[in-house]
Amino acid sequence: MTFDLAAVVRAELVREGYTPDRPLAVGYSGGIDSTALLLLAIEVCRPGKVVALHIDHSVRERSPLDADHCRRIAEELGVPFFLRQIPATHLSPLKRACGLEGALRQLRYSLLEELCLEQGIDYLATGHQAEDRVETHLLAMTRGSGLTGLAGPRSTRSLGSKVRLLRPLLGISRRQLTDYLATCWPGIPVIQDESNTDDQFWRNRIRHRLLPELVELAGGIEPIIRSIAQLGEDREAFEWMIEQRQQALGIDPDGAVLRLDRVDDMTDPAVVFALRRYLAEHTGGGPPAQKTVLAFCNALMQPGRTRWFDVGGTRFCIANRTVAAQPAQVEHHAVPPVLLRLGEPVFSRSLEVTLTAQIIRMKPDVAPSRSSNQVQFDAGVLGPIEERGLILRAAQPGDRFSPYGLQGSTRLFRWLAGRGVPRLARSRVPVVVWGEEILWVVGMRRGSQAPITSETRERLCLTALRHSG
């Protein structure tokens, strides 16, 4: 069984572009699924290529104990271990926008991506297995989702600019994983997350109430898994056809403006899918409601008129068969910029942060801090720091940002949307600006400028202390 299960995982990883000689990060929570994935990855990958990443959600009393457990198991297995904690200051506003589960999920993936970029790893594997796929399908059904949602989680997707997320266990059941651990790794400890029994979460209700009934009716989980896998294949075929249709009509759903001037029928599925993608991208949320998409289609069918729609905190303008997301109308002068002076802590009441900039001299072999509250730059490469001016201010529409690990720059508000920051909260995100460049989105990601190297002699160190309330 060991060979068969490992062979399945190896085949899934290779199918998605991974080769065993490359580094592979494993999202390791300590539960059955992620523990089995970590051990299978050790079997599949070449020695020294597996890294364990753990995210402390900081919402349960035993979270530190879980982190210690994962660190200990990783050390016993000889696997490098990296830990990151979700800041409470990031969780609160996002929780109001998309609920606790949604907020934790978005922040978890953002921190996992950050860890991968720091370690130079392009592939991240998570332990989602077959029952997770079924539960996601049933959740999507309760929300009125179409084929995209009903087909469940994808086996792979892009996680930011460089990191590829892989889910090699989607075709493997939890029973198979449990049997694998019992047979091949008897006695290895796993974490039992007590929140998995809390029925206040919809997924737990489905797992404990609905799914057992369906499994009994189907005579096992396998027919249900096969059905959802078939939906996944149908989704891929349908999306390929939609992409071909969009190209023929000159539709680019990823453009800054969605142009539909070559389209005659605004109810064409290619238009509907382009609208869904464009709206989701510019609101930072999930797929828009069907009535919203229909309202946009109806407005597009009335040429000569300009219409405005507010969706998820973003205003959209429809005119001349185009859809354009407009910058939020925010009074940025209400958050005054603050000049930073080296060695002097500066407090911004509006941004609820104290920030200190200082020059430090350290040996070249001393690694930069991995804390989310501190970043370091090569001061010699930057040049005279105070001549161009270090400014602490709020993020603004039109800002561009070059995140560390990403080639080129991106719109800062779009980048924040991808990290789950609600539209109306993005203008309260603190950033440190040097001249015209954003050096640091405070607590989230440093810019690509002046990385620390073996030649570095002096470092610009930026340290943030977040306040709340």
Question: Looking at residue 125, which CATH number applies to its domain?
Answer: 3.40.50.620
> Average pLDDT for residues 215-227, to the nearest whole number?
90
Give the start-end residues of each E strand in 330-411: 338-340, 346-348, 353-361, 374-378, 390-394, 400-401, 410-411
CATH of the domain at 303: 3.30.465
pLDDT at 289: 80
Is-above-0.85 flag for pTM? no
Query: Are 408 and 262 in the same domain?
Result: no
Domain that holds residue 301: 249-326
Write the pLDDT tens digit of every residue in 103-149.
778 788 888 988 898 888 999 999 999 999 998 898 888 877 788 88
Alpha carbon distance 135, 152 (integer Å): 8
Using the 3D structure, point to which of 326, 356, 388 is the last residue of a domain.
326
pLDDT at 270: 94
Query: Are 11 and 140 in the same domain?
Result: yes
Structural domain total, the chain: 3
Query: Are 25 and 105 in the same domain?
Result: yes
Report the sign of the C-alpha dihedral through residues 261, 263, 265, 271, in that order.
negative
In a 3-state reduction of DSSP, which class is residue 220? coil
Rounded percentage of the chain residues whose pLDDT exceeds 70:
88
Query: Are 211 and 263 in the same domain?
Result: no
CATH of the domain at 340: 3.50.40.10
Alpha carbon distance 350, 328 (integer Å): 18
Query: Are 136 and 272 in the same domain?
Result: no
Query: Are 55 and 144 in the same domain?
Result: yes
**pLDDT greater than 50 at residue 407:** yes
Using the 3D structure, point to which of 326, 345, 363 is the last residue of a domain.
326
Query: Are 75 and 167 in the same domain?
Result: yes
Q: Is residue 243 part of a domain?
A: no
